[in-house]
Amino acid sequence: MKAPGDSLLSSPVLRRRVAELGKDISRRYQDKPLTVIGLMNGSIFFLVDLVRRLPIETQVECWRVQSYAGRASSGVLKGLEHCQAELKGRHAIIVDDILDTGLTLDAVQQHVRDLGAESVEICVLLRKKRRRTVKIRPRWVGFDIPDRFVVGYGLDDDGKYRGLNSIRALD
């Protein structure tokens, strides 16, 4: 079966960049208590590959939050009320697949602060080149991409294409 859409990022390119991100994050949090919070389901492949490159003491949380309905943001974040973790005295990194409007990451970042994290940073695999609804500045960005709908490496189109090993743009 032919992969859909246009190829944006190949599997080897993704692997190399995730390795670089892992090195940068590891240097910053060497000998510090770190919790990585992956936003599901989109970040699952990125989260797993990234965490494998982090210090052994890293704790991992997976939070299921959702603001998309089909290909568009609904503007309403669902599921955050169920997301809890013991973060007092720990540094936290929120890992997400894509920075689009910024609404999800803004709300999750505030929630992590409210849970008492010593510091909160954001790492996204993809950052769309577009105007944000809120001001979000991730510390780590895998790739800047055009404002197109993308699938693969965890990102989906109503449940399809999540398992592709590359990032592809659909029109």
User: Is 100 one of the catalytic residues?
Assistant: yes
Catalytic residue among 49, 100, 147, 158: 100
Determine if the pTM surpasses 0.85.
yes
Non-local CB neighbours of 118 within 8 Å, separated by 6+ positions: 87, 88, 89, 90, 91, 92
Strand 34-40 versus strand 149-151 pairing type: unpaired
Closest C-alpha to 124, from 15, 53, 50 = 50
Per-residue pLDDT tens, the chain, 171 aa: give them.
Answer: 678 889 999 999 999 999 999 999 999 999 899 999 999 999 999 999 999 999 788 999 999 987 655 556 556 676 777 778 899 999 999 999 999 989 899 999 999 999 999 999 999 999 999 888 789 999 999 999 999 999 999 999 988 999 999 999 997
